Amino acid sequence: MKRLSLLYALVLIGITAIIAQVLLIRELLVTFSGNELSIGIFLANWLLLEALGSYIAGRWAGKVKSGLSYYISLQLLIAIFLPLIILITRIIKIPLGIIPGEGIDIFTIFFTSLFLLTPIGVIGGAQFSFACRLFADWSKKDVTSIGKVYVYEAIGSIIGGVTATYICLQYLDTFQSAFLLAALNILSALCLIFSFHDRKELVFLTNPLFLKIITVFLFVTNLVFFISGGISLLHGKSIAAQWPGHDIISYKNSIYGNVALLKRLEQYDLMANGVPIATIPMTNIAFIEDVVHLSLLHHADPKDLLLIGGGVGGILNEILKHPVTKVDYTELDPLIIHTIQSCLAAESIPEFKDPRIRIRYVDGRFYVRTTENTYDVIFINLPEPSTLEINRFYTLEFFRMIKKQLNRNGLLIFVMPGSASYIGPQMSALNISILKTGKEIFRYQKVIPDAYNIVLQSDGIDLSHVTTSVLNNRLQERNISTRLIGKAYLNYKLNEERINWYWNELKDTSGIKINSDFHPTALYHDLTLLNSIHSPKFLGIFTQLRYLKFYHITILLMIIFSMMLYLQRSKKNMQKINIIMPMMATGMISMGATIVLVLAFQSFYGYIYHWIGLLITCFMVGLASGGILITKSIQRITRHRILFLKLELALVLYTLVLLIFLYGIKKLPVDYLIQILMLIMAIICGFLVGAQFPLANKLYLKGEIHLSQTAGILYASDLIGAWIGGLLVTIAFVPVIGIFTTCLFFCLVKFLSLLLFILSKY
């Protein structure tokens, strides 16, 4: 019984961490209307807080009398704080004075999320250090305890990832998942209390009965919430507080995001992850008529059309006014369409009843890559490339795919940010990056400028010959009724002076690179543009990143390496830095390589959530396998330093193999072969990382440091490395220097950590 309750508690660390991350990040995204950059900030804060908790607890766990009582207390604190933080996250905008839909700067997002995540992050990191102390006290094996706890946590992370993806996100709301997770932690605490009731170290403020009463009370309270419907009531009240002044018609989560339908007076607002994506029936008529009619009138006979995203809110209705015979509409999240169809009357959305429309629930890029259909017009109706996921639709590779799926006189349409009065350097750079990219593929290009720039590209239609008189004639021939568009309006929108002004406003194009899958420069320029609007204080940092070169990074790494080598040789208490720095570098590579593999998979196959979850799961499988192998054999290993060196060298070689793999991946003929190789690469990375951690602890424990302190220091080092790697890869390196150069950075970092270990005296 003791063994089972202890193993359950250790595995639960990983389960809790992964599910709590998923739940809180989802809620933070909705609250802050966030994007990929926001996710990077949330995860970075989480890792930083876990590192802090691990380090503090590591220094504390070896000194306290009762590791068991403190560990149980941490489990109870998680059960209390997780639902509470979710509730605070939903209502935090009220004390901050932020109205729904308002843009929030990075400064506010960073510090608010840091405040919200602090309890769970610090507790999660502290659990690992106390778990190592608890397991060592029970097993009487100091050397292998850290490695085994690391393995059990990894196994829990696998279970948690699968549970979050296939159960929590699909069948439970956030509070149901949170209270269920709280119940599992309270149950674990009860199991530990009654399994170890005979241990003298089961004390809490010198009164073990007090700890038992608290645990039973929390268990009963949780049970009452489940039975009485209190969870549903809390869920409903918190959502109402999150969207004041609105009636909540629908609020659901899918594996792709949160979808909410709100009503205010007679108007419905459809929200995706807190961002408004459609207003029914009062929509932006001017924008929709401009984008649809000004563009489709450039095609002489648009019969077959593909719409990628954004079909809700009236755009399909306007498209159907043209002589189209078929419209294929791709929407990744079925919940968006199902919410509209189930909650609104059919007359509010007549376009969905039209037999010419075929809705395909699939990633738009994946559909273009795999479909055998060809089209007269392909319409990309997606936001600007503010995330890696969306940027994939504005790259050289995707434009090349589109060209193959367009008929002889086919037309590509999309929209970019614009201005009717002034185009600043950030907006100019974004426009230039995408226009340069399109010019590499399509012979003809035309921009209709305004507050939003309508971009037309074709390889068969000389767009310069499509004059306003031609457009007006087609408007009359097709008998299209509009509120705005007529002859005078066409003359205004396509005025030659306006178009010349736009091109003159675009600044020097010489230093702006083409946007590609593995070098998403448009993402960088869009982040710079967003920061110029919402976070002007950080604009200088983002602007300077544009000039970042690999040799700058190399010089910085060499300076850091020289400082570490000096400290190691001159300071006796710093000699173990030769273990800490390699673990930090390993954490950086584990996070960075995972992100790179996910990005590569997105680029080729679209955002297929389950496959990306499988990539991360494969990494955790490798992590657990490597940890198990080394932990089981660590007592028989005699040359620990040599084996550690081999693992360091293996990680250096892995980064080079990853670079070669990504470079040659496009030449592989079979999709399934690419997918299998990606999964194998994730497993190998996890295996090397998992194998190194218990070995590093063995080397570190040669000194007089206590086990729990060693666990805290090295676990914190691994997390800080992952924090640095996640931020650098997502926000800076991939957008600015590209994926291939990022892999070279990983290789250099790991080579220098290997060199530091070789040159050490320890």
Which pLDDT score, from 0 to 100, does residue 453 have? 94
Residue 410 domain flag: yes
Residue 530 domain flag: no
Residues 590 and 710 in one domain: yes
Which pLDDT score, from 0 to 100, does residue 143 have? 59
Answer whether 437's CB lies under 8 Å from 395's CB.
Answer: yes
Residues 614 and 678 in one domain: yes
Residues 210 and 126 in one domain: yes
Q: Tell me: the pLDDT tens digits for 555-580?
A: 999 999 888 888 877 766 666 788 88
Residues 361 and 500 in one domain: yes
Residues 297 and 153 in one domain: no
CA distance 366 to 380: 14
CA distance 500 to 503: 5
Q: What range does the domain containing 5 cover? A: 1-244
| Domain of residue 414, CATH code | 3.40.50.150
Distance spanning both ends of the chain, measured CA to CA: 42
| Domain of residue 754, CATH code | 1.20.1250
CA distance 368 to 390: 15
Residues 509 and 579 in one domain: no
Residues 45 and 177 in one domain: yes
Residues 217 and 289 in one domain: no
Query: Which residues, listed in sequence order, are joined to residue 250 by a DSSP beta bridge?
Result: 261
Which pLDDT score, from 0 to 100, does residue 472 have? 92
Residue 474 domain flag: yes
Which pLDDT score, from 0 to 100, does residue 639 have? 83
Q: Which among 244, 275, 303 is the end of a domain?
A: 244
Number of domains in the chain: 3
Residues 308 and 163 in one domain: no
Residue 263 domain flag: no
* Among 33, 135, 27, 630, residue whose Cα is nearest residue 387: 33
Residues 662 and 565 in one domain: yes
Which pLDDT score, from 0 to 100, does residue 205 have? 45
Answer whether 356's CB lies under 8 Å from 283's CB.
Answer: no
Which pLDDT score, from 0 to 100, does residue 455 have? 96
Residues 59 and 204 in one domain: yes
Residue 52 domain flag: yes
Q: Tell me: the pLDDT tens digits for 608-617?
A: 556 666 777 8
Which pLDDT score, from 0 to 100, does residue 579 have? 85
Residue ranges of the chain with per-residue pLDDT less than 50:
205-206
Show the 3-state SS of 47-78.
HHHHHHHHHHHHHHHCCCCCHHHHHHHHHHHH
Residues 165 and 305 in one domain: no
Which pLDDT score, from 0 to 100, does residue 344 have? 76
Residue 260 domain flag: no
